[in-house]
Structure 1
C-alpha cells in the first residue's frame, strides 16, 4: 500500500473521485473560544483548482465563525472505498451577485423565499492548501499497519505536491 510512485496528479484524481462520490461532508470552523464546530454540509461543486463552494444563510453560525477566523477544515468519507479526504484551507463568505446567480438552484427557494435576491443567501468559498487522504481500495496509504499514515498533498505556488513524511 505504499504511495511511492504515485504522482500528485493521480492523488488529486483520487481526491476528486472521493469528493464526487459522497453527497455530504463536514465543514469544521473555530468559534471565539478556539473550539471546533463541525456540521454536515453539501458541496455545490468542485472546481479544477480544488476550490469548493457551499450555500448557506448569512445569519448562520458558520458564517460568523468564518468571518472571525477564515481557516477551516472540510472532510469527506467514502465507505465504499474505505477512504477519506480532509482538506485544510481558507474559507470566505461570498455575496457577489454573479457567483450567486451562477450557482443558484430553484429548489433553494424553500430556504430563501426571496430567491436569488435574498439578503440571507450567501456562498462559502473554500480554497484548500493542504489535503490529507487515505483510500484503501486504491492503495493510497502507508505500510506497515502499525505506522499507518495518510498521504499529504500541499499546494506550493499553485501546484499540488506530495509532502515529505516526517519519521
Structure 2
C-alpha cells in the first residue's frame, strides 16, 4: 500500500469511534469502542482516554498486547493495528490530552484518580479497502 501512514493517519483523525482490543484472564480477545484518539505520533503512538477503574485497564496491566481498529463505514474500509497498550497516570500525560468538557467523565478534573491515558504503540497493521487486504509494518 502506498503512503500507509498518510491514509491511516487521515482515518484516525476523521473517525469519531475507535475499537480497542485487550486479552482477558482466559486469553480471549475483548473489544470495546472508545472516543477517537486525542493525540497521535504518526500511526505508531496513539493516545486515548479512559477510566482507571475500567476492566480494560486491568486487562492491559496484566497483558499489554493490544489491537486497535478504525472502521470507515462510508467507504467500507478499515485498518487494524497490532501492538501494545500502556496505562499512563502521570500528570504530564494526563494534561497532554485533557480537553474542556472532560469533567463530564472525570468530575475531579485532570487530577481525577479515575482518569488515565492509554498509549497504544503499533508494530504492524492490516488495511482493508476495495475488497482486498494488505499487511504492513509500522516504523
How does the TM-score come out when normalised to structure 1? 0.77
Deviation by residue 1:23-55 (Cα, 9 ceiling, x = unmatched): 001101010001111101112222225311111
How many residue pairs get aligned? The number is 138
Contact 2:44–2:123, Cα closer than 8 Å, also in 1:
no
Give the one of 69, 75, 84 matched to 1:90: 84
Give the one of 108, 114, 123 matched to 2:117: 123
Quick one: structure 1 residues 31 and 115, their matched pair in 2 at CA, closer, same or farther if it must change by over 3 Å?
Answer: same
* Moved >4 Å (runs of 4+): none
Q: Which residue of 2 aligns with 1:163?
A: none
Contact 2:80–2:125, Cα closer than 8 Å, also in 1:
yes
Q: 1:69 and 1:115 mapped to 2: Cα distance?
A: 28
The answer to which structure has the higher strand fraction is: 2
Q: 1:49 and 1:22 mapped to 2: Cα distance?
A: 14
RMSD: 1.5
Give the one of 12, 29, 35 matched to 2:28: 35
- Segments of 5+ residues of structure 1 without an aligned counterpart are 142-147, 160-167
2:6 is the counterpart of 1:17: no
- Segments of 5+ residues of structure 2 without an aligned counterpart are none
Quick one: structure 1 residues 105 and 63, their matched pair in 2 at CA, closer, same or farther if it must change by over 3 Å?
Answer: same
Q: Which residue of 2 aligns with 1:152?
A: 135
Q: 2:52 and 2:13 mapped to 1: Cα distance?
A: 26
When Rg is computed on C-alpha atoms for both structures, the one with the higher figure is 1
